């Protein structure tokens, strides 16, 4: 098993754990981001309203598709990221990557991952936002539906390629993991100059700082992507023809604040998720590596004996 595959497996496992731990915050963030009125609600008020009106379990609406999406996304990302890192290091003969090299590796991995997994997150956005695809004009028709049923309805009513609605802002958001992983790698290199080995807490803190930088820098595109992934309304204020059109209409109808709806819970959720992801991934990598080495050890012993 190649090192890139080991990183992919450990990344998928870590992504699953991080998603389960922080999913309620993701649901709250999505609902705040796609709200089109000017009502401002704090994180506490949003949670209180959901628990009161929608029941607490609704905070986990779309969890199955999110777990699947998180596992696939992190698995694919870490595979391409480690493969890109390996090829870059082989070409440059550098032991550690420079900032420019980190940006290149992150960009390659992020682009491949976004195009591959975008339909999964579109479905998850619709499930988490609890938007009824059957009849949006009738509020009573809004109900929770599963990922498979959502997929079927999207293809039937909107066409197969609508699964890539919002792909442009999503590709622009590749800058998010680029900032995140570049910041993480450079901070990690700096810390390794002072410490021989990094512990779980070190990885957790570095992951949190890196994600904080990335989230604050790219959040408006997250709002636009989420809006465009939802089924478009019939009125002109909620129908977006392009990324630029979405920015224009959100600012015109909701003010600049509209581009930052849900950022408090998003920062909390994404920073926690990234911190847990890096921490879990580091641990899972060691476990998977040990299993692979243990599996191949008897073969090596037998070869030596012969």
- pLDDT at position 228: 77
Q: Where are the domains of the chain?
A: 3-305
The answer to whether 188 and 198 have CB atoms below 8 angstroms apart is yes
How far is the C-alpha of 284 from the C-alpha of 277, rounded, in Å?
Answer: 10
Q: What is the CATH number of domain 3-305?
A: 1.50.40.10
Residue 213: is its pLDDT beyond 60?
Answer: yes
- pLDDT at position 187: 92
- pLDDT at position 136: 44
**What's the pLDDT tens digit per position in 35-69?**
655 555 666 777 777 677 656 677 777 787 778 87
- Alpha-carbon separation of residue 64 from 22, 120, 212, 278 (angstroms): 14, 11, 26, 22
Residue 3: is its pLDDT beyond 90?
Answer: no
- pLDDT at position 4: 87
pLDDT (average), residues 92-113: 86
Distant-in-sequence, close-in-space partners of 69: CB < 8 Å, separation ≥ 6:
117, 120, 121, 124
- pLDDT at position 206: 93
Residue 13: is its pLDDT beyond 90?
Answer: yes
Q: What's the CA angle centered on 59, arms 55 and 62, to 5 degrees?
A: 120
Write the DSSP assignment of the chain as a string of letters: --HHHHHHHHHHHHHHHHHHHHHHHHHHHHHHHH--SS----HHHHHHHHHHHT-GGGGGTTHHHHHHHHHHHHHHHHHHHHHHHHHHHHHH--SS--HHHHHHHHHHHHHHHHHHHHHHHHHHHHHHHT--SS-TT-GGG-----HHHHHHHHHHHH-GGGGGTTHHHHHHTTHHHHHHHHHHHHHHHHHHTT-SS--HHHHHHHHHHHHHHHHHHHHHHHHHHHHHHSPP-SSGGG--SSHHHHHHHHHHHH-GGGGGTTHHHHHHHHHHHHHHHHHHHHHHHHHHHHHHHHHHHHHHHHHHH-
């Amino acid at each position: 098993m190649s090192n890139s595959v080991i990183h992919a497996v450990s990344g998928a496992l870590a992504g699953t754990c991080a998603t389960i731990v922080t999913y309620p915050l993701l649901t709250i963030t999505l609902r705040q981001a796609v709200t089109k009125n000017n009502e401002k609600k704090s994180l506490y008020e949003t949670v209180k309203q959901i628990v009161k009106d929608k029941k607490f379990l609704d905070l986990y609406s779309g969890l199955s598709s999110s777990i699947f999406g998180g596992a696939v996304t992190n698995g694919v990302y870490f595979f391409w990221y480690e493969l890109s890192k390996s090829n870059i290091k082989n070409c440059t003969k550098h032991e550690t990557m420079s900032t420019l090299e980190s940006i290149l590796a992150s960009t390659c991995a992020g682009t491949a991952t976004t195009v591959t997994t975008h339909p999964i997150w579109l479905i998850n956005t619709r499930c988490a936002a609890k938007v009824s695809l059957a009849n949006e004009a009738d509020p009573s028709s809004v109900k929770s539906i599963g990922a498979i049923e959502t997929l079927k309805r999207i293809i039937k009513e909107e066409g197969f390629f609508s699964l890539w609605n919002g792909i442009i802002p999503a590709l622009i958001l590749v800058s998010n993991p680029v900032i995140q992983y570049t910041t993480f790698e450079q901070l990690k290199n700096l810390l390794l100059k002072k410490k021989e080995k990094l512990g779980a807490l070190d990885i957790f803190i570095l992951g949190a700082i890196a994600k904080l930088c990335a989230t604050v820098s790219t959040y408006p595109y997250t709002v636009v992507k989420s809006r465009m992934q939802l089924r478009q309304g019939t009125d002109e204020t909620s129908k977006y023809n392009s990324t630029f059109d979405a920015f224009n209409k959100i600012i015109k109808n909701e003010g600049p604040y509209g581009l930052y709806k849900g950022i408090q819970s998003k920062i909390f959720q994404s920073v926690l998720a990234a911190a847990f992801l890096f921490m879990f991934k580091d641990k899972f990598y060691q476990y998977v590596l040990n299993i692979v080495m243990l599996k191949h050890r008897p073969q090596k012993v037998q070869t030596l004996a012969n």
